[in-house]
Every structure is written in structure tokens, then in C-alpha cells.
Structure 1
Amino acid sequence: MNKSKYVMHALIADLARSVSQEICFNLDDSWKGGFIHEHTKLGSAKIRHSAFSCHRYDISKRFEVYNEMKSLRTFLALPISSSPENYFYHLSGKVLTELVHKLRRLRVLSLAGYSLVDLPSSICALKHLRYLNLSYTAITRLPKSLSELFNLQTLNLHGCSELVELPSDIGNLINLHYLDISDTNSLQEMPLQISKLTYLRLLPKFIVGQGNGLGIKELMKLPHLQGQLWIIGLQNVVNVRDAELSGLHEKLGLDELALEWIDNFQVSRNGGE
């Protein structure tokens, strides 16, 4: 796939840094020789946004400077590899625990590409969080307390191949607009409360449950879906009327629909339009 690229002139880059230096902080620029420059520490209280490149092994010492950034709004990890799914970065568990404890004003938290297996239950302390990116991590389950992030608008779990379940109380995330669970092949079912996320615009995958599991007609309660939708487990639809009640024909924002059902544990048909 061809993507547009551009190179910023060095003078423009320097100007951008000069204008934003009081509120923006690049850890890569400031971390020299294993320590943070003193002028960075003195101005840390004013910093609102920060980004950094992931290291193969990131230890807590590298992030000590964030202890004083009480007003930080953005904490953005940038994987170096262009294919993060093929290259995990390791983050000390102590780092995340301390971040949650001290950076209570975060709006944006991205840990994409780190080999995280779980999140601390204290993640619920980030009451102002709007955007959480855990794509291409090794996360298996999300803590139940995640459902207390009532202001969360985007939850990115793309490429989390080890993810086996979503929080049962996910319906509490009433402001969630984007839930990316594409390329989560270990996820075999979805919580019933998905249908409570009535503001959802992005839900690339919907898994129809068995028996009392999530029914296809619950899609009727998600009228704002856009883009792509892949419906898996159509063999679990017992009543044809339920499929009609899903209201797929009314979701005008969808531009791609894929259907999949399994017969004798083998995929017998996979169609899209």
C-alpha cells in the first residue's frame, strides 16, 4: 500500500520545538548519557504532552522525570519498528504502576507495542482518560476496574493476539466511540453489555454467542457503526427473525461487511460485500 511521506525542514522542526518546549516534552531529546538535564526537571510542572521511542528494555529509571509532571495529559509510546506485531518492547511493571499513581490527569495513554500481559487494577484512577492504546501488546485480559473509566472514548486493542476476553461490565463505558478489536484471534466471545455502547462508531468485529450469549439482534442497539464490520459465528443464529432485527440494512455508515459461520468446526463460508 502506497503512503504519502514528507520531510520537515530542520528549521521548521526547530521552530516547533521552540514554540512548544514549555508544554511538550520529548524524552528522547532530553535523555542524554543516562540522566535528564536539570532544566527539564525545573520546568516539568508545566508540561502537558510527552512522547518517546520505545527501547528494547525500558526500566523505571528512564521514566523518573515523569514523577514531577503532575499536569501531564499525554503519555505516548512510539514503537521504533514499522511492524510492532513482530517486535515486542519490554516495560518494567513498576513504571506503569507509578504512572497510574502520579499522573492522574492523563487524557491520552499509549503503550502500543510493549509486551504487557496485564494492566494494574489501579488504572481506574485515571478518571480523565479519553484515549487508551494497547495495540500489539501481549494483554490477555483487561481488569474489571477499566469499566470505571467513564470518560473513555477510544480503546484500541488492535493486534492483541493473546486477548481472550473483554470486561463483563464494559457497558459502563457509556462514552466509548471506538473499540478496535481487529486481529484479536484469541477472542472467542463478547460480553452481553456490548449492546449498551450505543455511541459506538467503530466495532470491526462482532461475535455471535451461543445459547444465552450475545445475540445478533443486539446489533440493532448500535446504530452509529461505520467502516468495516465482520460478523463471526452466524451458525449460532437460531432464529432468522433475529438476523432481520439486527438492522444491518439501516447502518448506512458501513462500507464493508463480512460474514462468517462454522460448520463441523470448519469455516464453510466467508462472504463480504
Structure 2
Amino acid sequence: MTKDEALVAQDGDNDILTKLCSQKFLRLSIETNRSQSGDLDWTSLQAQQSVRTLISTIQIKMKPGDSLVTFSSLRVQYIEAADVAALVESLHQLKHLRYLALLETHISVLPGNIGKMKLLQFLDLRGCTKSVNLPDSIVMLSQLQFLYIPNIHMIPRGFRGLTDIRKLIGFPAHMDGDWCSLDELGPLSQLKNLFLNKLENVSAASFAANARLGEKMHLIELFLWCTSRLGDNGLIKENQGVSEEEQ
């Protein structure tokens, strides 16, 4: 039914470039291995200026200067196992994007102006092991509902304003400082799935109480994770932030 609007390239399809050059598509899904995809580069995709859904699980050749500017109609972008660092700075150009998944990519940061993506609802950074912190403007994504950030260490203050969030995976627990702490989870009353990391940073129950988990009537899944203080020898590691009395 969608043959005139969609291109789905899977294993065994060796004619991707020809199809991309001969027709305009609204949806692209390229899930074939690298040897079969040939010399597919970002320039080949940029000709598809009307595309609304882009799904790719292959290595696409990119060079400095490549951007997302031509994809002004994009609503869904799912890229896996590719070096998309060159594209990160132009992410904010995707004004209509609702769904952004950058899985197992080599990005180390998100653009500071990601807050301009006002319609973004889904952000998935699973497998992006080089990513450390989220930009301050992340708190401006008022329509965000799903956030997967298992490798993020710090979240900026103001996170409490994202009251539409339903699923939050990888929230790093902190008590104070310049970053988001557990008490900013208090107003997030729509949460259904919550995974908390680094709970060893919370030294008192009073801080945890500020998250108001007992008031989240929609919560159906809660995962609590503490980094182990034990080494391979079964002894407590040094410099783990515990007092002699706690040991």
C-alpha cells in the first residue's frame, strides 16, 4: 500500500542507490549490512528532502559539513551504530521531529540548543557510552514523554518542569550541587516507568522522600540501581565516598 511512499531496504537488497536516485520517498528504512548497502553516503540520503521517517542501522559515510538541514519535514529519526557526530550540531533544525533515537553512536554531547526542538516527545541515547551530561536546554522540551539516558552522569536543574514524562530510564541520583537532584522528580506525576541510577549518592532517606514516589499513581515499574562498592576480591573499594563508620 505504501510502495510509492516508502523504501524498505533489508538484507539482499543491492540496489539502494538506484532507488534513492529515481524516486522521492516519505519513509526510509535501511537495515541491510554494510557490504550490501554499497557506498551509501549521507549525500545520497540528502536528496530525499520530503522524508518524514528515517530508520538506519548501517554505517553511512559522512564528512565534515554534512547536516540535517535538508530534512525539514522529518518526524522520526532512528539511527543505530553509526558515527553521526557531524550531524549533532544541526539537530535543532528538525522543528517537526517527535522521535529521536541515536543508539550505539559515537556522540559525546547533544547540542546546547536542543531546547528548540519543541515537539520532541521521545529521546533515546542507549549505547552512547561517550555521552556524559545533558545540555541545560533539555528542560525546555515540555512535550518530552520518553527519555532513555542510561549512560548520562548529570542532568541540569529545572528537570521538574518536564511534567509530561511517562518513561524515564537512567536518572542519576544526586542530592545537591549544580545538577538535578532527586527532589526534581517530585512533580513528575505521570511517570509509569522509572529507572534510578547511582543511588549510593543519596546518604539520607529524607532526600529520597523528596522524589514523592508514593504519590505517583501511574507508576507500574520502578528499578533502583546502586553502583557496587565491592571489588573483585569482595572488599570495599577505596574512595567510594563511605565513612569508616558505614564500612
Q: TM-score, normalised by structure 1?
A: 0.72
Partners of 2:200 and 2:227 within 8 A in 1: yes
2:133 pairs with one of 150, 161, 165: 165
Partners of 1:118 and 1:141 within 8 A in 2: no
After the TM superposition, which residues 8-23 of structure 1 pair with which residues of structure 2 at under 5 Å, given as runs?
19-23=1-5
2:142 pairs with one of 160, 174, 180: 174
Partner-residue secondary structure (3-state), 1:170: helix
| Deviation of the 1:261 alpha carbon | 6.7
Residue segments in structure 2 that go unaligned for 5+ positions in a row: 230-237, 243-247
Partners of 1:119 and 1:142 within 8 A in 2: no
Question: For residues 169 and 38 of structure 2, what CA distance do their matches in structure 1 show?
Answer: 35
Q: Which amino acid aligns with 2:26?
A: R
Partner-residue secondary structure (3-state), 1:192: coil
Partners of 1:229 and 1:254 within 8 A in 2: no
After the TM superposition, which residues 38-117 of structure 1 pair with which residues of structure 2 at under 5 Å, given as runs?
41-44=21-24, 47-53=25-31, 55-56=33-34, 62-79=41-58, 89=59, 91-93=61-63, 97-98=66-67, 100-117=68-85
Partners of 2:56 and 2:79 within 8 A in 1: yes
Question: For residues 60 and 46 of structure 2, what CA distance do their matches in structure 1 show?
Answer: 20
Map Cα deviations across residues 200-242 of structure 1 (whole Å, 9 max, x no partner).
Answer: 111122223353232221110211122242242443456x443
Q: Which amino acid aligns with 1:50?
A: L
Residue segments in structure 1 that go unaligned for 5+ positions in a row: 1-18, 80-88, 269-273
Aligned length: 230
The aligned residue for residue 188 of structure 1 is: 153
| Deviation of the 1:180 alpha carbon | 0.4
Q: TM-score, normalised by structure 2?
A: 0.79
Q: 1:30 and 1:62, CA in 2 relative to 1: closer, same or farther beyond 3 A?
A: farther
- Which one has the bigger helix percentage? 1
CA RMSD of aligned residues (A): 3.0
2:209 pairs with one of 244, 248, 261: 244
Q: 1:221 and 1:52, CA in 2 relative to 1: closer, same or farther beyond 3 A?
A: same
Question: For residues 175 and 209 of structure 2, what CA distance do their matches in structure 1 show?
Answer: 18
Question: For residues 62 and 116 of structure 1, what CA distance do their matches in structure 2 show?
Answer: 12
| Percent identity of paired positions between Structure 1 and Structure 2 | 22
Q: Which amino acid aligns with 2:182?
A: I
